[in-house]
């Protein structure tokens, strides 16, 4: 793991979003002898299930994004 930072997940500017979801952004690297892969994953930083996020209307179409 390279870095963990706190932030708010936001969809692209063209997508309607009612609120931002607090997340931990985790930057890491997976590496073998032949391959190196840098990636970022988001983990929800509050006690909120995907169902709770949908009920809070976090996005206009919950199926349009994958926050978790």
Q: Where are the domains of the chain?
A: 3-64
If we measure between CA atoms, which residue out of 19, 18, 41 comes closest to residue 30?
41
Please report the pLDDT score of residue 64 as a whole number: 47
Structure tokens that stand for 6 in this block: 């706190």
For 6-41, write each residue's pLDDT tens digit: 998 887 788 777 778 788 889 999 999 999 999 988
Please report the pLDDT score of residue 67 as a whole number: 45
d(CA 5, CA 26): 7
Assign 53 to helix, strand or coil: helix
Q: How many residues are there in the chain? A: 68
Please report the pLDDT score of residue 47 as a whole number: 78
* Element containing residue 44 per DSSP (H, E): strand 36-44
- Whether the CB-CB separation of 65 and 59 falls below 8 Å is answered with yes
Indicate whether 59 pLDDT > 90.
no
């Amino acid at each position: 793991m390279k870095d963990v930072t706190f932030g708010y997940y936001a969809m692209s500017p063209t997508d309607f979003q009612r609120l931002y979801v607090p997340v931990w952004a985790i930057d890491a690297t997976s590496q073998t002898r032949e391959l190196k892969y840098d990636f970022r994953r988001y983990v929800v930083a509050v006690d909120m299930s995907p169902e709770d996020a949908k009920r809070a209307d976090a996005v206009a179409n919950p199926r349009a994004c994958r926050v978790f």
